[in-house]
Amino acid sequence: MDPSHPLWASPVEAPLVIDDVEAQRWDDAADLIVVGLGGAGVAAALEAAERGVNVIAFDRYEGGGSSAANGGVYYAGGGTRAQREAGESDTTEEMYKYLAIETAGVVSDATLRRFCEDSVPTFDWLLAHGALLNGTGVFRKKVSYPPLRYHLYHPDNSLVSSYAARAKPAARGHRTAVYNKGKAWGLGWGIWKPLAAAAVKAGVRFDKYTEVRQLVLDRHGAVVGVKALSIPAGSAAARRFARYIRNANWLLGLLPPVIPLAAVTIGLARRYLAAAGRIEAEQRVTRFVRARRGVVLSAGGFILNSPMVEHYAPLYRRGLPNGTLGDTGSGIRLGQSAGGAVGMMDRVTGWCMINPPSAWPRGMVVNKRGERIIHEGVYGSTLGDAVAHSPEGSAYLILDEALYRESRRQIGRGADVVKYQRQVARLNLMMNRKTAATPEALAQALGIDAAGLKKSVEAYNRAARGEIPDVVGKAPEEMSALTAPPYHAIDISVHSRYFPMPMLTLGGLKVDEDSGMVLREDGSAIPGLYAAGRTAVGICSNVYVSGLAYADCIFSGRRVGRSVAGASVLAPLARTA
């Protein structure tokens, strides 16, 4: 099958087209079918149910997806309750001005403004439904992820001088008040779990261990149902499947992949996944479920589908997939099977987090030509994007002895950093560092252009002293002159063994920005089909900053819920000549 085919590299089946919706054998029915109950899916389900819509939600696993598994950061601003209590000044206008830089037109100005204007009410909506976003403490310095006692921080580029000159910075990263044994992942459930409980209380039926493989269309192209494969609820097979998946997820998250022992835990996880796959192959039953008002595709992105990543975003093919088991692109493929158009499929966020230690971004990052590529103090995904677009995806962090020693102190015993941040920094200083007496010798050790690196170091030092403007707009106070030999380099390439680049996909189905309905290539909407979260193009599809994907999931999911609540039943259309 050609890669341009909508079903390529996917188990999704071509749509079933029926002549008579009423005559079709249906095993179940609902007004709205939710395919994937992660952050976007649960927001759509809850919003719709509270507006009187009958909802059934399917998830191949136990729900939550990447939203529940992430670091628990939610992007909000304009004066949220948490911001006000922390004394953090922010306005909707400043939030809009900042995000306009990052989104770069990926959504309309009207949609972006609506997102910003809805930020405070949405935050209050989350709190009202039990989201654990009531932590205290604001971290005001630039950092990739704050120490765990802080629950409000700058999760973006807003503190970088060139951004701050265009929009007033504010701490907009709201971290959930939950803990996971000192880890910075597995914290997003502090938002998802209360919403899921509220959805069930509102009447949403949630069928776990159910995979949607096919859409059902009427002869006019409207989506009227789905084909779902389910492990029978309450069965011994379902209990075994759940146990295998939980064990696999535990093993996959046990160790950072840069730790050599991680190969062992990943191997064990794959055994559990294989056993779970056998249960699916042998025990699932087929069900056809009617959607009276619509189907929303909210099944995540496609970062775990390596053929799709290779095809759509080849620059990132050697990075580290950062998703959960459902991020296979199935939701996107389902939408394409019905004629849906896709956009921004080449956009991937790759995280190149070099802070902490805070000494590292005071150095410089160069490509194989020895040239600077970006302001080193930018957020990790912005840096990662620059690295991925460098020749061969290669880049190196250059430090002098003074910055090297300072960075060691900043991750030493008693340092106020998250455990994994200390582990990764220490590992790279020990195992992923080359040292030489001069920049030229360091370049030779790295196999990069020596003249280019020498020239870059000289220009960097002059800019750090304020003698000339910096080539990438870095302010002197954000720099340290590299004058103390020996010189050090850390490989931060996309394919670096000890500094891997975690990635997730940002593109997806094109949608109408007022309703969330999936669009065809000609711009017309597909009746009865919606998409949300990372299955769709959204607020964060150009550039990712921490918490923006979660916020977009809630925003786009609620949009679908409201739209479906006002939509008419599709059955009469299906029976017209």
pLDDT digits (tens, 9 = 90+) for 313-348: 999 999 999 999 999 999 999 999 999 999 999 999
Q: How far is the C-alpha of 164 from the C-alpha of 474, rounded, in Å?
A: 12
> Structurally, what CATH architecture does the domain formed by 16-70+186-231+285-347+504-574 represent?
3-Layer(bba) Sandwich (3.50)
| 8 A C-beta contact, residue 36 and residue 535 | yes
- Where in the chain are the domains? 16-70+186-231+285-347+504-574, 73-175, 233-283, 352-491
| 8 A C-beta contact, residue 383 and residue 376 | yes
Identify whether 469 is preceded by a cis peptide bond (ω within 30 of 0).
no
pTM (predicted TM-score): 0.95
Q: What does the pLDDT read at residue 574?
A: 33
- The HSE-up count of residue 352 (CA atoms within 13 Å, CB side) is 31
Residue 481's nearest CA partner among 501, 465, 498, 495 is 465
Q: What is the mean pLDDT of residues 391-405?
A: 98
Measure CA 407 to chain center. 29
Is there a shared CATH topology between the 16-70+186-231+285-347+504-574 domain and the 352-491 domain?
no
φ, ψ for residue 420 (rounded to 5)?
-65, -30
Q: How far is the C-alpha of 106 from the C-alpha of 34, rounded, in Å?
A: 25
Assign residue 158 a region (left: φ > 0; alpha: ψ between -120 and 50; beta: otherwise): alpha
| 8 A C-beta contact, residue 335 and residue 518 | yes
pLDDT band at 573 (very low <50, low <70, confident <90, very high): very low
Select from 3.40.630.10, 3.40.50.970, 3.90.700.10, 3.40.50.300 the CATH code of 352-491: 3.90.700.10
Chain segment 129-157, per-residue pLDDT in tens: 999 998 889 999 999 999 999 999 999 99
| 8 A C-beta contact, residue 532 and residue 550 | no
In this predicted structure, the answer to whether residue 426 has a pLDDT above a threshold of 50 is: yes
Q: What does the pLDDT read at residue 571?
A: 42
Chain segment 490-504, per-residue pLDDT in tens: 999 999 999 999 999
Q: How far is the C-alpha of 205 from the C-alpha of 352, rounded, in Å?
A: 40
